[in-house]
């Protein structure tokens, strides 16, 4: 068994054992007519606080107790463990109070966003790696402009040198809008290569009527259409990761603050702030 598989097995077993211990403690407390609410509440608050530290680990040297990969593994398994603690804390039924309902909804949304992020961070990088070239997100707009400029120059030069407008007409009618306009919302939500395939098929059909100089220019168009599609795919996938991280972190800290408020109010109603 390789080290990665053994670590996953070890972490999964530890998480399962800890979760069973929490559920067992809650069952034992109920049998003694005691409420495990404060114990599970503090444990859940501790889990949320630890999970919130993941984003600040690089800013605080004291948190550099392990590698980034180690932090990520701890973040994932403690998040999964916290779901069991959360269910045990609310006795596996949704609360009815305004604050408790808000807090529960925030936890569920944050947890689900974490699961989505876990899936995306595992599946998106391999998809990007299959693209012919890697692109920095901040450089993509400039690279798009460069593709558009190079395509236009290649077509104009061919039209001037040959006097034929066949390739120029095709570029104006079918390619220019593709290179100039941004992709629609649907593409950003579900990127596909359907437009690229259609344009390449149409360009292949047009090449039958082109002269030799025009065919050389069309080869440049083939490459530039592919490059533009690669740039759009990178932009959509990288934007997805950035947007998810913004939302996930944006939910975490309000969740932690409301959880602290909930704990303080619980102590007040129980008979004292501490």
Residues 210-230 as b/e (b if ≥16 CB within 10 A, e otherwise) read beeebeebbebbeebbbbbbb
Give a yes or no: residue 77 inside a domain.
yes
Q: What is the pLDDT of residue 268?
A: 85
Give a yes or no: residue 38 inside a domain.
yes
Measured in whole angstroms, how far is the alpha carbon of residue 70 from the centre of its chain?
20
Residues 118 and 175 placed together within one structural domain of the fold: no
Give a yes or no: residue 16 inside a domain.
yes
Give a yes or no: residue 11 inside a domain.
yes
Residues 124 and 148 placed together within one structural domain of the fold: no
Q: DSSP alpha helices (H): ranges in the chain?
A: 3-31, 37-53, 68-89, 98-129, 140-162, 166-170, 176-180, 185-189, 194-206, 212-270
Give a yes or no: residue 245 inside a domain.
no
Give a yes or no: residue 120 inside a domain.
yes
Residues 148 and 122 placed together within one structural domain of the fold: no
The three-class DSSP label of residue 80 is helix
Asked if 231 and 147 count as a contact pair (C-beta separation under 8 A), the reply is yes
Q: What is the pLDDT of residue 259?
A: 96
∠156-180-182 over CA atoms, to 5°? 165
Residues 260 and 126 placed together within one structural domain of the fold: yes
Residues 259 and 215 placed together within one structural domain of the fold: no
Tell me the residue range of the domain where 95 lies.
Answer: 3-131+250-270
- Calpha distance 9→94 (Å, rounded): 32
Task: Give 18-64 pLDDT, tens digit per residue.
Answer: 999 999 999 999 888 788 989 999 999 999 999 998 887 766 655 56
Q: pTM of the predicted model, to two decimals?
A: 0.87
Q: What is the pLDDT of residue 65?
A: 62
Which DSSP string corresponds to 97-124?
SHHHHHHHHHHHHHHHHHHHHHHHHHHH
Residues 163 and 234 placed together within one structural domain of the fold: yes
**What is the largest distance, in Å, between two alpha-carbon atoms of the chain?**
94
Residues 260 and 210 placed together within one structural domain of the fold: no
Q: What is the pLDDT of residue 255?
A: 97
Residues 123 and 199 placed together within one structural domain of the fold: no
- Calpha distance 193→187 (Å, rounded): 9
Asked if 45 and 107 count as a contact pair (C-beta separation under 8 A), the reply is no
- In tens digits, the chain (274 residues) has pLDDT values of 567 788 889 999 999 999 999 999 999 998 887 889 899 999 999 999 999 988 877 666 555 666 778 888 999 999 999 999 999 999 999 888 899 999 999 999 999 999 999 999 999 999 999 998 899 999 999 999 999 999 999 999 999 999 999 999 999 999 999 999 999 999 999 999 999 999 999 999 999 999 999 999 999 999 999 999 999 999 999 999 999 999 999 999 999 999 999 999 988 887 555 4
Residues 104 and 166 placed together within one structural domain of the fold: no
Residues 50 and 104 placed together within one structural domain of the fold: yes
Q: What is the pLDDT of residue 128?
A: 95
Cβ of 118: how many Cβ atoms within 10 Å?
Answer: 15
Q: How many domains does the chain fold into?
A: 2
Residues 122 and 53 placed together within one structural domain of the fold: yes
Give a yes or no: residue 244 inside a domain.
no
Residues 8 and 66 placed together within one structural domain of the fold: yes
Give a yes or no: residue 265 inside a domain.
yes
């Amino acid at each position: 068994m390789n080290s990665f598989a053994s670590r996953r097995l070890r972490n999964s077993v530890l998480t399962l054992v800890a979760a069973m211990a929490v559920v067992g403690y809650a069952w034992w407390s109920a049998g003694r007519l005691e409420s495990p609410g404060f114990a599970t509440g503090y444990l859940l608050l501790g889990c949320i606080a630890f999970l919130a530290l993941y984003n600040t680990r690089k800013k605080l040297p004291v948190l550099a107790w392990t590698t980034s990969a180690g932090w990520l593994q701890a973040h994932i398994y403690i998040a999964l463990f916290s779901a069991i603690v959360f269910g045990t804390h609310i006795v596996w039924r949704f609360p009815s109070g305004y604050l408790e309902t808000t807090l529960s909804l925030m936890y569920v949304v944050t947890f689900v966003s974490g699961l989505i992020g876990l899936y995306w961070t595992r599946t998106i990088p391999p998809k990007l790696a299959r693209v012919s070239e890697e692109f920095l997100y901040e450089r993509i707009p400039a690279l798009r402009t460069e593709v558009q400029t190079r395509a236009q120059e290649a077509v104009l030069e061919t039209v001037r040198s040959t006097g034929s407008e066949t390739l120029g007409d095709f570029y104006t009618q079918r390619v220019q809008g593709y290179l100039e306009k941004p992709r629609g919302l649907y593409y950003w939500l579900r990127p596909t290569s359907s437009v690229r395939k259609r344009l390449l098929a149409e360009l292949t059909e047009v090449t039958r009527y082109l002269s030799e100089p025009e065919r050389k220019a069309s080869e440049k168009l083939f490459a530039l259409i592919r490059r533009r599609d690669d740039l759009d795919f990178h932009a959509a996938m990288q934007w997805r990761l950035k947007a998810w991280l913004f939302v996930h972190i944006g939910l975490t800290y309000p969740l932690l603050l409301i959880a602290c408020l909930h704990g303080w109010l619980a102590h007040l109603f129980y008979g004292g702030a501490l």
